[in-house]
Amino acid sequence: MRRFFLIATPYLWLLALFLVPFFIVVKISLSDVALARPPYLPQFDWAEGIWAFLSELDFENFIFLTTDSLYWKAYLSSLTIAVVSTLLTLAIGYPIAYGMARAPEEWRPTLMMLIILPFWTSFLIRIYAWIGILSQEGFLNQFLLWIGLIQEPLIILNTNVAVYIGIVYAYLPFMVLPIYSSLDRMDGSLIEAAEDLGCSRLSAFWLVTVPLSKNGIIAGCFLVFIPALGEFVIPSLLGGSGTLMIGKVLWEEFFSNRDWPVASAVAVVLLLILVIPIVLFQRNQERDAEAGL
């Protein structure tokens, strides 16, 4: 019984806070918009029965998503921004994690604290700070003008470049920490053995270090890609109206257009897109576990 309750507790938590809201969103996505509160029909009535309720549900909203170019363009734009941001975060985060893993033992706690230090400040405040940095009168342009690198201020704010900067900055710790964990556990004698067998330091890095840190790289990429795909705050504050991402479309449908059925359909499709990489990651973890990696 103790084992049962130990396992049942997290599953009940997931059931209450994930599955139940998800099924509610699925139900709304199969409904029709209405001038009522809540703004959709049908609503379950015990007198009519469950079959009468189910017969009024349809896939009209999902069909509408395929016919309106706004939605699939938003999905493609979000996927592109999420993928590029993940690759940029990996390119910046891996050297940081590698340097932390190779730093002297007494320095590693300090370096770890510096990585997690931004979490001590509100996420919204940190993103707002980038508005003052990236604006035409901001610190970055003033600094570049002062050193003579540019002759007139750059337009960075309200562009996709600002969105990439914001996402990389916000999610960099999620990339660094799992990679650092993998590199920290790696046996340093393997590098020495590779060099003794004729590998250069660069060859040993690509043939030994990178493959052994694969799990950390995959975990870090998923931890960045998944929230970046549905990001709303960063593109709204730094990207402006020209940046099209599915998180902004969801906000507009829910709170501006009040079209909850279409917004729910958009959310369901977004979740299904996110489920695919999660399943692939789990299968990769299972294969590594079976192989004893």
Q: Are 175 and 93 in contact (CB under 8 A)?
A: yes
Strand duo 40-41 + 32-33: pairing = antiparallel
Give residue 22's pLDDT: 87
What is the model's pLDDT at position 261?
92
Q: How far apart are the first and last CA of the chain?
A: 33
Two structure tokens written together for 255: 């709170």
Look at residue 185 in the predicted model and tell me its pLDDT. Answer: 85
> pLDDT value at position 225?
93
- 162 pLDDT band, cuts 50/70/90, is very high
In angstroms, rounded to a whole number, what is the distance separating the alpha carbons of residues 116 and 18?
A: 27
Strand, coil or helix: 191: helix
Q: Average pLDDT, stretch 171-193?
A: 88
Query: How is residue 48 written in tokens?
Result: 């009519």
Judged by average pLDDT, the poorest of 46-55, 178-187, 254-263 is 46-55
Q: What's residue 119's pLDDT? A: 84
3-class SS at 292? Answer: coil
Beta-strand (E) ranges in the chain?
Answer: 32-33, 40-41
Q: What average pLDDT score do residues 162-172 get?
A: 94
Q: What angle do CA 92, 129, 119 make, to 5 degrees?
A: 60
Tell me the pLDDT band of 242, cut-offs 50, 70 and 90. confident
Return the CA Rg of the chain: 24
Q: Taking residues 133-137, what's their average pLDDT?
A: 89
pLDDT band at 165; cut points 50, 70, 90: very high
pLDDT of the residue at 293: 55
Q: What is the DSSP string of 4-70?
A: HHHHHHHHHHHIIIIIHHHHHHHHHHTSEE-SSSSSEE----TTT-HHHHHHT--SHHHHHHHH-HH
- Cα 1 to Cα 4, 5, 6, 7, 11: the distances in Å are 5, 6, 8, 10, 15
**Which band of pLDDT confidence, cut at 50, 70 and 90, is reported for residue 89?**
very high
Token match 């309106």: residue? Answer: 68
Q: In this predicted structure, what is the pLDDT of residue 292?
A: 59
**Domains by residue range for the chain, with CATH:** 69-291 (1.10.3720.10)
**pLDDT for position 80:** 94
- With beta carbons less than 8 A apart as the criterion, state whether 40 and 28 touch: yes
* Mean per-residue pLDDT, 152-160: 89
Q: Given this model, what pLDDT does residue 266 score?
A: 92
CA distances from 102 to 111, 158, 186, 264 (A): 11, 38, 11, 47
What pLDDT does 92 receive?
96
Tokens of 146: 């002062």
Q: What pLDDT, on the 0 to 100 scale, is given for residue 9?
A: 84
Q: What is the DSSP letter of 197?
A: T
Q: What is the rounded average pLDDT for all residues in the chain?
A: 87
Which pLDDT value is given to residue 291?
Answer: 66
CA-based nearest residue to 84, from 231, 282, 269, 207: 231
What's the average model confidence in pLDDT over 53-60? 85
73: pLDDT confidence band, cut at 50, 70 and 90?
A: very high
Strand partners, 255: none
How would residue 169 be classed by pLDDT, with cut points 50, 70 and 90?
very high
Residue 4 has pLDDT above 90, yes or no: no
Q: Which helix (H) or strand (E) holds 3?
A: helix 2-14
pLDDT at residue 180, as a whole number: 93
Local confidence band at 20 (pLDDT 50, 70, 90 cut-offs): confident
Report, as an integer, the average pLDDT of 66-71.
88
- Token duo for residue 126: 């940190």
- Asked if 199 and 69 touch (Cβ cutoff 8 Å), the reply is no
What tokens does 79 get? Answer: 């996927």
